[in-house]
Structure 1
Amino acid sequence: MLQAGMHAFILALGLILPLGVQNLFVFNQGAAQHRFRQALPAVITASICDTILIGLAVLGVSVFLLKIVWIKTIFLLAGVCFLLYMGYVMWKSKPAVSEDEERIFSPKKQIVFAMSVSLLNPHAIMDTVGVIGTSSMLYSDMEKYVFTAVCMVVSWIWFTALAIIGKITGMADKSGRLLGMLNKLSAFVMWGMAILMLLSLR
């Protein structure tokens, strides 16, 4: 069981560490909100979505759904539309360096955006299916439960830590210049992901 736990920890961390749309969004919310607890909707939603995806990957449900061509096509097109829109929103977004509440994402908006960057990113889902789903097949019974649970816990810890780091960065960046650059970077990452998804439809 220890081996399964260590394997899951290293695997999940390796998948979640690279710069991506989901990570940038959670980080930005941590930085933009006036208090850490106000970024919790983004943190919790991203964590729940990852938990669901990991569970589906281990159960093999994701593989079945992604093999159905029309479902995959609709899924990709929906993801492209959301990423293009979110890229536009992030590009236009200005850092909340004052008490200007209009620049702050509401809990509802955080939840919708976090769900979209988590669930409408086929490439991330395929990574989860291909790596975590396949790796889970190495284990059975209790070891498989341990493997799955550790992968899920890593996601929760990572997104919480990411929002905290974002908050610290936001507090240090009083001018808002760094956060403004991160918003632009987020937009480019989202648009780049949308283009890759469009190309995969060919």
Structure 2
Amino acid sequence: MLEPFIHGVILALGLILPLGVQNVFIFNQGALQPRYMNVLPVVITASLCDTLLISVSVLGVSLLILGSFWIKVILIGGGFTFLVYMGWTTWNSKPNNQRSSDVNRFSLKKQILFAASVSLLNPHAIMDTVGVIGTSSITYQGEEKIIFAVTCIIVSWIWFFGLSLIGRIVGKIDKSGSFLLMLNKISALVMWTAAVYLVISLINK
């Protein structure tokens, strides 16, 4: 029983640690929101989306997604559109003295929509989660498979809550907003790079 637990922890951390659109968005929201309660919808939405992806991958839906060219095209098309738009929004956001107006623009509905889009419309993350976790889960059966899946899900939830807390700490330390402004520019470049990478990966296949 210990093997699927350790395997789940290592695998989930390996997939979630690298800098990506989802991590950048959650960190930014943690830093920008005036109260931590305001970032909870983003964290919970991202966590639930990851829970959904991990669950369907363990149940075997990964074979359907990875095996269908048109599903990949739809995922990449939607992901490209959202990444370009979110990159533009992030690039133009100003986390300094205009923080209040920026926060007001990001309504609860918009925060949840963005969190869901970077989780469910990010083909690269989907292929990693569904492909790697789904393939790895094949080695387990019954209770061991459940332990493996639940472990991956728990690691995901802990990571997103921790990342948002770190973002909030940085936001409080960075009173001038200069660090967050620079981070926004880097975040936008990461999103646009990811969008271009998606198109290139589809063309090369």
**Fold in common (TM above 0.5):** yes
Partner of 2:54: 54
Q: Does 1:148 align with 2:149?
A: yes
Partner of 1:67: 67
Taking structure 2 as the reference length, what is the TM-score of the superposition?
A: 0.94
The 2-side partners of 1:64 and 1:99 are apart by: 43
Partner of 1:128: 129
Residue identity matched to 2:200: L
The secondary structure found in structure 1 opposite 2:53 is helix
1:55-74 deviation per Cα after TM superposition (whole angstroms, max 9, x unaligned): 11111113203322222212
Residue identity matched to 2:173: A
1:74-104 deviation per Cα after TM superposition (whole angstroms, max 9, x unaligned): 2211110110000000000111556623444
Residue identity matched to 2:2: L
The 1-side partners of 2:46 and 2:110 are apart by: 13
Long gaps (5+) in structure 1: none
Residue identity matched to 2:33: Q
The 2-side partners of 1:130 and 1:99 are apart by: 39
The secondary structure found in structure 2 opposite 1:89 is helix
Partner of 2:120: 119
Partner of 2:101: 101
Taking structure 1 as the reference length, what is the TM-score of the superposition?
A: 0.96
Contact 1:23-1:162 at 8 Å conserved across structures: yes
The 2-side partners of 1:199 and 1:98 are apart by: 37
Q: In terms of mean alpha carbon deviation, does 130-139 or 173-182 score higher?
A: 130-139
Residue identity matched to 1:82: F
Contact 1:21-1:186 at 8 Å conserved across structures: yes
Long gaps (5+) in structure 2: none
The 1-side partners of 2:97 and 2:18 are apart by: 27
Number of residues of Structure 1 aligned to a counterpart in Structure 2: 202
Q: In terms of mean alpha carbon deviation, does 149-158 or 130-139 score higher?
A: 130-139
Partner of 2:163: 162
Residue identity matched to 2:119: S
Q: CA RMSD in A?
A: 1.3
Identity of aligned residues (%): 59
Q: CA deviation at 1:181?
A: 0.8
The 2-side partners of 1:124 and 1:10 are apart by: 17
Runs of 4+ in 1 over 4 A off after TM superposition: 96-99
The 1-side partners of 2:54 and 2:22 are apart by: 15
The secondary structure found in structure 1 opposite 2:202 is coil
The 2-side partners of 1:100 and 1:125 are apart by: 33
Partner of 1:91: 91
The 1-side partners of 2:83 and 2:99 are apart by: 28
The 2-side partners of 1:131 and 1:197 are apart by: 18
